[in-house]
Amino acid sequence: MLYQMYETQRSLVEPFADFALAAAKLYSNPSSPFSQAPLSQRISAGFELFYRLGKDYEKPQFGIPSVTVGDITVNIMERVEIDKPFCELRRFKRFTDDLETLQTMAAQPAVLIVAPLSGHYATLLRDTVNSMLSDHKVYITDWKNARMVPLDQGVFHLDDYVNYVQEFIRHLQSQYGHCHVVSVCQPTVPVLAAVSLMASRGEATPQTLTMMGGPIDARRSPTAVNNLATTHSYEWFETNVIHQVPSNYPGAGRRVYPGFLQHTGFVAMNPDRHATSHFDYFKNLLKGDDASAEAHRKFYDEYNAVLDMDAAYYLETIYTVFQDYSLIKGTWDVKSVDGQPERVRPQDITTSAVLTVEGELDDISGSGQTRAAHDLCTGIAPENHKHLEVQGAGHYGIFSGRRWRETVYPQVREFILQHAVPSVTPEIVGDDDGPVLQAKTEVAVAAPAPVEEAAPAPVAAQAATPPATAKSPAKSSKSRATRGSRRT
């Protein structure tokens, strides 16, 4: 019922928000007679602020048209490589007609960025993706809004999340022989589980695991997020935050944790900061500070765009990660795509190097929560463990913004490069790094059209200042990921 009430309220406010936008333009356009009225600039700013507070925020675009590799600008094309019911594996494919740059890119490591499924869209990691594209082949988990997934696609569980990650890792390995994984916030737990299960089965694991600001051990330095989960029962969450998707969406009838409730929780963590930010936006409009106003718009276009999470996944995450601490206690069993329970054993990982990153001022994942991964991965040699604490950084700052670009990313890049093993040799496998590249090069010489970075082998996706994050059980295998056909 609450979801239906919210949708009704949103529908009622929407025409007023559209009117406010039109009025703001009318009073600010120099060619309009209304712009000559007294206090026109103040009136325009007021309408603009009302529009920003009342508008509906859709999923943003990554919007990365190009990046620089060396001294060359290369074009970016997004494409979906694997489309699952609840997630797309999205690749940012790079193109250039410079042969030397093409060869450089072909030799760069392949990286899977696992984005959080905790309220915001994967586009929250736009800065992360943009930085890594200069030095890596980049893939990301682009999670879908659960209200857009029809009921006949089944229920999405935490186990499905783990199985999705394994399938995506296998996909990159089938293309390049090896890969690297970067997980940000919430996915650090299911990613560590996915790689642990692969190691326990004797499968090849990623060369490196970079885990940033995640609740590996939520008992350490508990934050407001942790306290919320521990002071309320599983039944309380199921009763108070789970609602059915209304009939005007494809996922009508699905039980979800709605995005609008998550957004309310994000804002409630720092209401004064958000109020100040909006008031500063109003003042910047009055001063004509277009740069600051546009920065505000870009941030809140991202921050206010939220998605619904399937109820089963959300509740299982609350229980497994924040209440039972199953990973830390060594009692977590994950159902495979075959429906067989498998024990998560991080100590079985031996061939992956692990880097953990924490922000000194992180108020989402407290100090030591991510670093706890090193205590679990006892099978990894000491020289393959590394921890980075970023001074002065909050949760958002470790994967976006100046500290990410200047402090964190250079060390992540160096860590990956240090442990990267050449994927495959051209004489053994004809994949993206081998004869396919040579064939492309010959074509480029004959006809200098833009050339792909590498075509697929023939054989074969909180509350800082201002961001935030969010955070079992019913089972169904109907929507479970299909295990990759190729193992290495």
* 166 inside domain: yes
Q: What confidence score (pLDDT) does residue 422 get?
A: 66
* 397 inside domain: yes
* 484 inside domain: no
Q: What confidence score (pLDDT) does residue 267 get?
A: 85
Please return the burial class of 417, using the count of CB atoms within 10 Å of its CB with bins 0-12, 13-18 and 19+.
Answer: middle
* 102 inside domain: yes
Contact 286, 41 (CB under 8 A): yes
Counting every residue, how long is the chain? 488
Q: pTM for the whole thing?
A: 0.84
Residue 182 and residue 104 in one domain: yes
Question: Strand 255-257 relative to strand 87-96: parallel, antiparallel, unpaired?
Answer: unpaired
* 106 inside domain: yes
Joined together, the tokens standing for residue 87 give 């997630």
Classify the phi-psi angles of 213: left when phi > 0, otherwise alpha if psi is within -120 to 50, otherwise beta.
left
CATH number of domain containing 151: 3.40.50.1820
Contact 193, 327 (CB under 8 A): yes
Q: What is the DSSP letter of 219?
A: T
Residue 46 and residue 101 in one domain: no
Which of 435, 450, 483 is a domain's end point? 435
Rg (CA), the chain: 23
Which of 397, 419, 435 is a domain's end point? 435
Residue 414 and residue 287 in one domain: yes
* 442 inside domain: no
Residue 42 and residue 73 in one domain: no
Residue 140 and residue 6 in one domain: no
H/E stretch holding 276 reads: helix 271-287
Q: What confidence score (pLDDT) does residue 78 get?
A: 96
Residue 288 and residue 392 in one domain: yes
Q: What is the pLDDT along the chain (488 residues), one digit of tens a residue?
A: 788 888 888 889 989 999 999 999 999 888 888 888 888 999 999 999 999 999 988 899 999 999 999 999 999 999 999 999 999 999 999 999 999 999 999 999 999 999 999 889 999 999 999 999 999 999 999 999 999 999 999 999 999 999 999 999 999 999 999 999 999 999 999 999 999 999 999 999 999 999 999 999 999 999 988 999 999 999 999 999 999 999 999 999 999 999 999 888 878 878 898 999 999 999 999 999 999 999 999 889 888 999 999 999 999 999 999 999 999 999 999 999 999 999 999 999 999 999 999 999 998 999 999 999 999 999 999 999 999 999 999 999 999 999 999 999 999 999 999 999 865 433 333 233 333 444 333 323 233 334 444 433 333 333 343 434 333 444 443 333 333 333 33
Which of 408, 435, 462 is a domain's end point? 435
Amino acid at position 443, single letter: V
Question: Hey, is 332 helix, strand or coil?
Answer: coil
Contact 403, 393 (CB under 8 A): yes
Which residue's entry shows tokens 């992956």?
352
Residue 310 and residue 242 in one domain: yes
Q: What confidence score (pLDDT) does residue 34 get?
A: 86
Amino acid at position 415, single letter: F
Enumerate residues 6+ apart whose C-beta is below 8 A from 403: 390, 392, 393, 397
Residue 34 and residue 134 in one domain: no
* 338 inside domain: yes
Residue 293 and residue 324 in one domain: yes
Residue 50 and residue 75 in one domain: no
Structural domain for 16, as ranges: 2-54
Helices (H), 288-433: 290-303, 311-317, 326-329, 373-376, 402-403, 409-419
C-alpha to C-alpha distance for 387 and 356, rounded to whole angstroms: 5
* 444 inside domain: no
Residue 108 and residue 14 in one domain: no
Name the packing angle between helices 40-54 and 271-287 (round to 10°): 140
Considering its fold, how many domains does the chain have in total? 2
Dihedral angle over CA of 155, 160, 164, 165, nearest 10: 140
Residue 333 and residue 214 in one domain: yes
For 396, phi and psi rounded to 5 degrees?
A: -65, -35
